[in-house]
Amino acid sequence: MKAFEWTNASSVDDAVKLLAEVKADDDSESARPMSGGQDLLTTMKERILIPKRVVNLKTIQGLDGIEGDGETGLKIGALAKLHEIESHPVINKSFPGLAQAAHSVATVQLRNVGTIGGNLCQRPRCWYFRLPHVVCLKKGGDTCYSEKGENKYNAILGGGPSFIVHPSDLATMLMALDATITINGPQGSRNVPIGKFFVLPSENASVENVLADAEIVTQIQIPASAFAARSTYVKFKERESLDFAMVAASAAIDLAPDQTVRQARIVLGAVAPIPWRVPKAEAALVGKPLNDASVNAATDAALEGAAPLEKNAYKIPLAKALVRRALNGLKTA
Ligand SMILES: Cc1cc2nc3c(=O)[nH]c(=O)nc-3n(C[C@H](O)[C@H](O)[C@H](O)COP(=O)(O)OP(=O)(O)OC[C@H]3O[C@@H](n4cnc5c(N)ncnc54)[C@H](O)[C@@H]3O)c2cc1C
């Protein structure tokens, strides 16, 4: 690891100042925020990221709160740990899909340290991005090597010119729950709907989200909704122990008294460079009872337009199976 300066932020404003005052040069990037460090430190050890300064956010008091309930909506501080989210009684009762998504991440050791802010802002796991000596498109090169290379884990939707998939489990569920991300930076504070937080490679291949220099995520807000309490997250991993999703599906529905679907949310994970919401699949459910016919129609619509690479066509039937599993699980919820 290249030597770097360590700083402890005393407040959000202090963190922004500490991030903004360091400029990149030919050898190093400027400064990076660190929460749990579970991803940042790995990328630094592998010299994928070479910040001059690390700004420790964990020293900011009060940025880890979880407030609210199913009636008022939730406010989750960016430093809230994944373990706190998975075990929080209100989240388990009123936003169960979010608790399931948090529980699905890695191991309990990692969830005791990793935060929701770091989870949303973690970097991709694509082998080429993670290999220190490979200068792929995301690292300033001109080629996405996964497109014609080892692409078993890469995108089948929304790819090009880079074919990474977004690795965050929570992002997929938060997209289904219509979350809003609060960002603080040199220009002040702004709220960004999660649907506009992540960035496709066709817009900018070197980043995964809209964060500008010296900006940090400070809070995640989840509105009260009729579908949050009937939400679920299902994830398929190659290994039964800790692993990232090969494919994941988030679903949430609101049922009318006559058991027809009033509102639906379906978002796929690990199939695209961003959490992939599928409005056509949602529309296939609305106004219908949640039965085999409507679930099958939604499942087929969810994968419309998928364009697999040479080694990842398996993701299409896998994603269909997970959407079906998620929706069937909500029938009895
Ligand atoms: C073995 C292993 C298995 C894993 N498995 C999974 C998995 O199954 N699912 C999954 O989703 N993730 C997984 N992860 C990825 C990740 O480490 C965790 O998701 C964790 O939540 C990251 O949080 P952190 O607080 O440690 O982030 P950090 O490492 O502190 O930060 C991650 C990135 O986000 C930036 N950052 C941190 N906080 C902020 C902020 N508030 N605002 C802006 N930028 C910020 C950092 O600069 C860094 O680039 C795994 C990691 C490891 C090492």
Encode pLDDT of 22-76 as tens digits: 988 877 789 999 999 999 999 999 999 999 999 999 999 999 999 999 999 999 9
- Is the pLDDT at 196 greater than 60? The verdict is yes
By percentage, how much of the chain surpasses pLDDT 90?
95
Residues above pLDDT 70, as percent of the chain: 99
Give the containing element (helix H, strand E) for 134: none
Task: Indicate if ligand 1 lies below 6 Å from the C-beta of 242.
Answer: yes
Model pTM score: 0.97
219 lines ligand 1 (CB under 6 A): no
pLDDT of amino acid 28:
79
Mutation test residue for ligand 1: of 110, 206, 215, the one with most atoms within 8 Å of CB: 110
> For position 332, what pLDDT does the model report?
65
How many Å lie between the centroid of ligand 1 and the Cα of residue 119?
4
Burial 277-305 (b: 16+ CB within 10 A, else e): bbeebbebbeebbbeeebbebbbebbbee
Query: In this predicted structure, what is the pLDDT of residue 26?
Result: 77
If you take atom 19 of ligand 1, which residue's CA is the nearest one? 119
Q: Which of 8-22, 23-37, 117-131, 231-245 has the lowest mean pLDDT?
A: 23-37
The per-residue pLDDT for 23 is 86
pLDDT category of residue 333 using cuts at 50, 70 and 90:
low
Atom nearest to 78 CA in ligand 1: 41
Neighbours of 39 (CB within 10 A): 20
40 pocket-lining for ligand 1 (C-beta < 6 Å): yes
Ligand 1 atom closest to the CA of 35, numbered from 1: 30
Residue range 109-136: mean pLDDT, rounded: 97
pLDDT at 219 over 60: yes
Q: β-strands 73-77, 66-69: how paired?
A: antiparallel
- C-alpha distance from residue 227 to each of 75, 164, 174, 286 (Å): 17, 30, 13, 13
**Mean per-residue pLDDT, 306-331:** 97
Indicate the helix (H) or strand (E) that contains 163.
none
Q: Per-residue pLDDT averaged across 220-240, rounded? A: 96
From the CB of residue 265, how many other CB atoms can be counted at a distance below 10 Å?
25
What separation in Å is there between the alpha carbon of 27 and the centre of ligand 1? 24
